[in-house]
Amino acid sequence: MGMSVTISAAAEDDAEHILKLQYLCYQTEAELYGDYGIEPLTQTLADLSDEISQGHALVARLGDEVVASVRGRVDASGTARIAKLIVHPRMQRHGLGGRLLDAIEARFAGDPHIKRFQLFTGHRSESNLRLYRSRGYVPVSSEQVGPRLTLVILEKEPVPRAYAASA
């Protein structure tokens, strides 16, 4: 019988595992854009630890192994900024990215100050764009950050939680 993947809040001692996974996962993005100096590949362990402590970070585990992660934080404007959704290459295309995206959104769901969810990806990252669109995100702007890379910024409004009374 196989193990199931569990999603939980990242612990402080998960930072090193997340950083290694991030480095592995962003290799394809770096290759796609011809830029190995992108921030996820140059982020330090100290910076990652700070990032985790300042917002929400989730990990997905298969047994004891961290196989996926996502981070998010809320800014002063009420935007929940979701970032660095990563899934180990061997675990991709099994719905884990969508589960993590749903889980990080759920972490923010109880905050009445949240006005929107926002994330971004590169313009050539078709599988990322497909996932985000399937979860209700729509492109709202783009930003050219280099000669080969344009970031596509996508947003969606939070779905209000309504509870129906039973008769």
Could you read off the pLDDT of 18-74 as tens digits, one per residue? 999 999 999 999 999 988 888 999 999 999 999 888 888 999 999 999 999 999 999
User: What pLDDT does residue 1 have?
Assistant: 41
Nearest to 92 by CA among 128, 122, 52: 128
**Per the confidence metrics, is the pTM higher than 0.95?**
no
pLDDT for 105: 94
pLDDT attached to residue 90: 93
